Amino acid sequence: MGEVELSCLAYAKMYLHASQFPRCSVNGLLLSSSPAGGAVCITDCVPLLHTHLSLAPITQLALTQVDAWCSQTHQRIMGYYQANACVSDSRYSSIYCREDLRALIGKIDGEKMFPGCRVPPIVMYERKDARWALKDKHTIMLRQWEETCSIVNQLFSSGDQALLVDFDSHLDDITKDWTNQKLNAKIMELVSPANGNV
């Protein structure tokens, strides 16, 4: 696999998910609408769980729902992301490394999650010869890093991080939208060139 580009939308939602539950491990799915082969653009993510990350029945239910939604929205699951409750814990949960999630694992580095961080607090792993290998950081791109950080800060200052709903929260209250359409719209509004961002 070549270069991986992480969109502002995907990064913001991953960051908000980890920030919303700072004392919990969180996970989710990385989505792409780009065709197979060549560079991969992670265009979105679906926040899944903040409790019981290892419970297979809940994970399977979530994956079934996300698969159905992806087929309607012309996206595909490219991988998995996780942030651990303990910032120094660099492990990831292998339960989610099912065959169709073999492309990427994103790990949010909690030690680098602070305002003003000069680099994205994300490391990526890719599948190489039946094992997971750390991806070269020079092949992971987040375009417009300063603008993306500014957008995340705006979401926090306006209280919009509360709009994020993960699948766990949806299971507690099915009226909550795990596809996060309100938050997506807010992020895309902030990304728009009309607001001076790209």
pLDDT tens digits for 73-89? 999 998 889 888 765 55
Average of per-residue pLDDT values in the chain: 83
Sheet of strand 104-108: strand arrangement = 131-134, 122-128, 104-108, 76-83, 26-32, 40-49, 4-6, 140-141
**Window from 40-49, 86-95, 171-180, 188-197 with minimum mean pLDDT:** 86-95
Q: What are the tokens at 183?
A: 């938050």
Contact 11, 28 (CB under 8 A): no
Taking residues 45-56, what's their average pLDDT? Answer: 84
pLDDT of residue 86: 62
**How large is the angle between the packed helices 145-157 and 8-20, nearest 10 degrees?**
40
- DSSP result, 119-180: S-SEEEEEEETTEEEEPPGGGEE-SSHHHHHHHHHHHHHTTGGGG---HHHHHH-TTS-TT-
- The CATH superfamily assigned to 4-190 is Cytidine Deaminase, domain 2 (3.40.140.10)
pLDDT of residue 52: 72
Kindly report the pTM of this predicted structure. Answer: 0.86
Residue 13 has pLDDT above 90, yes or no: yes
pLDDT of residue 195: 55
With cut-offs at 50, 70 and 90, classify the pLDDT of residue 1. Answer: low
Q: Would you kindly state where each structural domain of the chain is located, as residue ranges?
A: 4-190
How many of the other CB atoms lie within 10 Å of CB of 24? Answer: 17
With cut-offs at 50, 70 and 90, classify the pLDDT of residue 93. Answer: low
How many of the other CB atoms lie within 10 Å of CB of 120? Answer: 21
pLDDT of residue 95: 47
Helices (H) and strands (E) in the chain, counts: 5, 8
